[in-house]
Amino acid sequence: MRPYLKPIFTLLLPACLFLSVSHPARAQVDSAAIKQRIFVFADSLVRSYFEKDWNTYIKLTHAGIVRLYGSMDTYVGIQQKVRARFEDVLEEKKEEVTVKQFVFTGNNWQCIVQRVHDTHLGGKSAKITTYMVGQSKDDTGNDWKFFDVADNLLVNISSIMPDFSDELVVPEKKIAYDGVETSAVTTAERTAAKPKKKAPGKK
């Protein structure tokens, strides 16, 4: 090596080593931060339903739900009736949420969040596991909106969120009575919920 290149090489080598280590670490921190943001927003949605804070519930609900119900007011009205019907059961304990999957599609973030509710059904202890789809329409994943697929799985999810990513997998709703698990939706029904391509000339 030429003598006058040694000082430059000596300065560049530590810088290269720093960049090769710092970039993966930064990516990991970013992913962890986004996952935490998803959890905070999803937990806030579940809490708002539990506490009947409908203003917050609306703010955290995916706007695409309007395509299915006609208006946000109609959708929230239905949720309020369901909430009132199961008042005693829902007072037991707020659902627990877990971020199961999240992906960046190129222009927005999407995720699957698990909801688990320990309750009693028919005089038996029951654990109900359902799922929500979430979306953040920015590349930073700072703001999230969700919709519950527990009752909408038979409906094409793309009717609510047309850009739903094929990378996301929505598990089946499950109910476990005294530890014995049953599936509430069949594999065929789950497949039917996948976005379908339209045939040429058909609307």
pLDDT digits (tens, 9 = 90+) for 125-149: 888 899 999 999 988 899 999 998 8
Lowest mean pLDDT among 52-61, 86-95, 152-161, 186-195: 186-195
pLDDT digits (tens, 9 = 90+) for 56-66: 999 999 999 98
| Predicted local distance difference test score (pLDDT) of residue 83 | 81
| Predicted local distance difference test score (pLDDT) of residue 184 | 55
Domain coordinates in residue numbering, the chain:
3-192
Spatial separation of the C-alpha atoms in residues 80 and 74, rounded to whole Å: 10
**Range list of β-strands (E), the chain:** 96-104, 109-121, 124-136, 145-148, 174-177, 180-183
Name which residue leads in pLDDT, 29 or 109: 109
pLDDT at 187 over 50: no
| Predicted local distance difference test score (pLDDT) of residue 64 | 92
What would the mean pLDDT of 93-105 be, rounded to a whole number? 92
pLDDT digits (tens, 9 = 90+) for 136-185: 998 889 999 999 886 555 566 888 999 999 999 998 888 888 766 666 54
